[in-house]
């Protein structure tokens, strides 16, 4: 299973165009039968769970079984980006491990539960936060974001939002699975927050998926943050 994330960054005063695209792009995506799952997403300011949105940056996430499909965004969407002078960065990922669901959809098969892959890795962490737990969630995630950005082996991340404040995701990239695990299981702030999620039952639905980065094309803020990684 492949997952493609296309990040479009609009010029400073055209962020509203990205907002409107979240409604308009639904039409071509609904009729694309080669995509098994898709989401139109906003972005957080600091590359992770963030209560402050980045109005210039918007994403399309697509899941498909054929790698060739990752290259086809559709004429309408491609022309839209070009017309509004959006900077476009597209990442193609191959699912290697995972658990959980996103709107009851799993990105992985029964065979993709465990792997011996040790190269550069991407990790998608996604959750639907219970309304009653929003205050506790947002109080605790900021220290984790700061710790992640300073962790050894961390490369780049993007914060994704399906519904502001409630349905949130982070896609992070690491030099290796070992680096990611050092952050996830050995950093005290992150460990404490993970314990809270289970103790206080913050989420109504959650997903954790690991990917092998296959390709990264285009620019984001004038550069390719995954240059040399895939």
The CATH number assigned to the domain holding 140 equals 3.30.70.100
225 within domain boundaries:
no
Three-state DSSP class for residue 180 = helix
Q: Is the pLDDT of residue 229 over 90?
A: no
Token pair 């600091």 is found at 46
pLDDT at 116: 74
Best CA proximity match to 107, nearest among 7, 211, 188, 229? 211
Q: What is the mean pLDDT of residues 170-188?
A: 84
State if pTM tops 0.85: yes
CA angle 12, 18, 24 (to 5 degrees): 160
Using only C-alpha atoms, the chain has a radius of gyration, in whole angstroms, of 17
102-112 average pLDDT score: 75
Range of the domain at 163: 2-218
In a domain, 227, yes or no: no
Give pLDDT, residue 111.
52
45 vs 22, residue with greater confidence: 22
Is there a domain that residue 78 lies in?
Answer: yes
**In this structure, is residue 112 part of a structural domain?**
yes
Residue located via tokens 């990684």: 229
- Beta-bridge partners for 165: none
Is the model's pLDDT at 113 over the cut of 70?
no
**Is the per-residue pLDDT at 112 higher than 60?**
no
- Token readout for 66 is 């054929």
Three-state SS at 89: strand
Give the number of domains in the chain. 1
Give the mean model confidence (pLDDT) for residues 29-46: 88
223 within a domain of the structure (yes/no): no
Task: Decide if 22 is inside a domain.
Answer: yes
Residues 21, 33: Cα–Cα separation, whole Å: 20
CA distance 12 to 16: 10
Query: Do the domain assignments include residue 42?
Result: yes
Range scoring the smallest mean pLDDT among 59-63, 67-71, 83-87, 150-154: 67-71
In a domain, 230, yes or no: no
């Amino acid at each position: 299973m492949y997952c493609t994330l296309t990040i479009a960054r609009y010029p400073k005063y055209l962020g509203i165009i990205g907002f409107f695209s979240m409604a308009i792009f639904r039409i071509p995506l609904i009729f694309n039968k080669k995509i098994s799952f898709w989401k139109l997403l906003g972005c957080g300011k600091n590359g992770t769970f963030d209560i402050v949105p980045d109005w210039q940056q918007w994403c399309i996430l697509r899941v498909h079984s054929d790698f060739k499909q990752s290259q086809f965004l559709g004429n309408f969407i491609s022309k839209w980006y070009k017309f509004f002078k959006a900077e476009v960065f597209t990442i193609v990922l191959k699912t290697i491990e995972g658990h959980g669901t996103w709107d009851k959809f799993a990105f992985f098969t029964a065979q993709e539960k465990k792997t011996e892959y040790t190269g550069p890795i991407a990790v998608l962490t996604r959750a639907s936060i219970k309304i009653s737990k929003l205050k506790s969630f947002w109080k605790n995630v900021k220290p984790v974001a700061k710790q992640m950005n300073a962790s050894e082996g961390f490369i780049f991340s993007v914060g994704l939002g399906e519904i502001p404040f409630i349905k949130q995701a982070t896609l992070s990239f690491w030099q290796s699975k070992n680096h990611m695990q050092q952050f996830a299981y050995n950093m005290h702030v992150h460990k404490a927050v993970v314990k809270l999620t289970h103790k206080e039952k913050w989420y109504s639905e959650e997903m954790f998926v690991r990917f092998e980065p296959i390709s990264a094309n285009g620019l984001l803020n004038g550069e390719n943050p995954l240059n040399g990684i895939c």
